[in-house]
Structure 1
Amino acid sequence: MDLQLKGKVVLVTGGSKGIGKAIAKAFKEEGAIVAIAARSKEDLEKTLFDYRLDASYEGDLSTFEGRDTVFQNLINDFGTIDILVNNVGGSNGATTMETDMSLFEEAMNLNYFSAVHFSKLAAPIMKENGEGSIINISSVFGREAGGKPTYNGAKAAMISFTKSFADEVIKDGIRVNGVAPGSILHPTGNWQKRLDENPEKIKAFVEQEIPAGRFGTVEEIANVVLFLASEKSSWVVGATLNVDGGQSKSNF
C-alpha cells in the first residue's frame, strides 16, 4: 500500500532510540525525508548512519532554547515541515509524596511542553502549506492509573492537548492525532531492564495484564504512526489511539 509519504519532511523528536527510532526508520522506508532530534550525539549519529536518515539534531528538548534551535536548524536545512512526531519523553520520580516538585516540572517540560512548543512552531508552516500532520506519542497511562505520577500527569495533558489543538487547526488542513502505547519491549527501554532483573515477575505481569499475552514491539507503534500521518486516515482528527494488545482498562 502506497501511503503517499515519499518526499514528506518529517521530524521525530526522541528519534535516536526505542519507539522514536522505529518511527524514523518506518518513514524512511516509505521514502520520506527524515530528521531526528535527541540529546545523545552518539545515539543520533548511530541511528542516522544505520537507517540512512537525512539529518539529526542534538539538543536538550526539555528546554525552550533547545527546541527552538532544533526546529530552526530543520527549517534552515529543508525549508519546511510536513509531519511532526512528538515522541520525546521519559519517566522519573516515585510516588507523589516521595517525588520532589522539581521532578514533576521536569516531566512536564520533557513530555508535555516539548509537544506543545514543537506543535506551535510547526503549525504556521503547515498552515501555509495547506496541510500537515502532528502525531503525539503519549501512553495508556495518560488515561488510567499505572505508571509514575509525574509521567501519567504529563501524558494525560498531552492527550488533552491533542484533542484541543486538533480542533483548533483542522480548518487549516492540519490533522493532530496521538498514539497511546501500552507496554512495549525494546533493548533500551524500562521493560527490558525489568525483564533482565526479574524474568518471572515480568512473565507474570504479561500473563495477568496484557490480554494479547506478549509485549508490543516498536514496529507496531510505528505502523500506526504511519497510518495517522498518511491520507489514509484523513477523517481521523483529535484521536489518541490505544496500541496496547488490550492492556488498557478504559473503554475508549
Structure 2
Amino acid sequence: MELNLTNKRVLITGGSKGIGYGIAEAFIKEGARTAVIARGGDALKQAASELSGLQTIQADVSNEAEREKSFNEALRLLGGIDILVNNAGGSAGSTHLDTPVDTFRGAMELNYFSALHYAQLACAEMKQHGGGAILNISSIFGRESGGKPSYNSAKAAMISMTKSLADEVIQDGIRVNGIAPGSILHPTGNWQKRLDENPEKINRFVEQEIPAGRFGTVEEVADTAVFLCSERASWIVGATLNVDGGQSRSNF
C-alpha cells in the first residue's frame, strides 16, 4: 500500500528511543523528513547516527518555554510541519493514596499538557497550509485501570482530548487520532527491565494477560502510526486505536 508520505514534514516528541524511535524510523523509511524532540542528548546523538537524515532537538517537553522553543526549531529545520506525533510520556508514583499531588501534576505536564501544547502550536501552522495530521500515543491504561494512577489519569485526558480536538479541527483539514499501545517490549523499556529481573513472573503475566501470547513490538505500533498519519486513513477522525494483541479488557 502506497502511503504517499514522501517529503512529508514530521515532528515526533520523545523520539530518541523506544516507540518514538520506531515511529521515526518508519517515517524515514517512507521518505518523510523527520525530526525528533527528546531530553537526553546522548540518546539523540545515537538516534541521529543510526537514522539517516534524522533531525534532532534537545528539550524537556514538560517545560512550556522549551516546548515553544523546540517547536520553532523544528519549523526551522523542516520548513514547516505536516504531521505531529505526541509520543513523549512516562509514569511515576504508586497508588492514589501514596502518590503526592505534585507527582500527578508532573504526570499531567509530561503526558497531557505537552501533547495539548504541541497540538495547539501545530494546528496554528497546519491551518495556514491546508491541513495535516496529529497522532497522540496514549495507552490502554487510559481507558482502564492497570498502570500507575498518575499515568492512567494523564493518558485518559489525552484520549479525551484526541476526540474533542479532532472534532474542532477536521473542518480545517487536520485529522487528529491516537494509538493506545498495550505492553510493548523494547530494550530501553520497563517491560524489558522487568523481564530481566524476574522472567518467570513476566512470562506468567504475558500468558495470563495478553491473549496473543506475547509482547507487542515497536514496529507494530510504528506501522499503525504511519498508516493513521497517511492519506489512506483519511476517514479516520478522533479515533484512538488499541494496539495490544487483545490485552485491553475494554470493549470500545
The answer to whether TM tops 0.5 is: yes
Counterpart of 1:185 in structure 2 is: 185
Counterpart of 2:82 in structure 1 is: 82
- 1:173-252 aligned at under 5 Å gives the runs 173-252=173-252
The alpha-carbon distance between structure 1 residues 236 and 107, as it changes in their structure 2 partners (threshold 3 A), is same
Letter matched to residue 65 of structure 2: E
Kept in 1, the 8 Å contact 2:35–2:78? The answer is no
Which whole-Å CA distance do the structure 2 matches of 1:17 and 1:105 have between them? Answer: 24
Structure 1 regions of 5+ residues with no counterpart? none
SS of equivalent to 2:11: strand
SS of equivalent to 1:34: strand
Counterpart of 1:57 in structure 2 is: 57
Letter matched to residue 92 of structure 1: A
Which whole-Å CA distance do the structure 2 matches of 1:53 and 1:25 have between them? Answer: 10
Letter matched to residue 215 of structure 1: F
Identity %: 62
Which whole-Å CA distance do the structure 1 matches of 2:45 and 2:2 have between them? Answer: 29
Letter matched to residue 202 of structure 1: I
Deviation of the 1:2 alpha carbon: 1.5
Which whole-Å CA distance do the structure 2 matches of 1:239 and 1:53 have between them? Answer: 31
* CA RMSD, Structure 1 to Structure 2 (Å): 0.6
Counterpart of 1:104 in structure 2 is: 104
Asked if residue 72 in structure 1 is aligned to residue 72 in structure 2, the reply is yes
Kept in 1, the 8 Å contact 2:123–2:174? The answer is yes
Deviation of the 1:79 alpha carbon: 2.4
Which whole-Å CA distance do the structure 2 matches of 1:69 and 1:128 have between them? Answer: 20
Structure 2 regions of 5+ residues with no counterpart? none
TM-score after normalising by structure 2: 0.99
Aligned length: 252
Deviation of the 1:54 alpha carbon: 3.2
Counterpart of 2:21 in structure 1 is: 21
Deviation of the 1:53 alpha carbon: 3.2
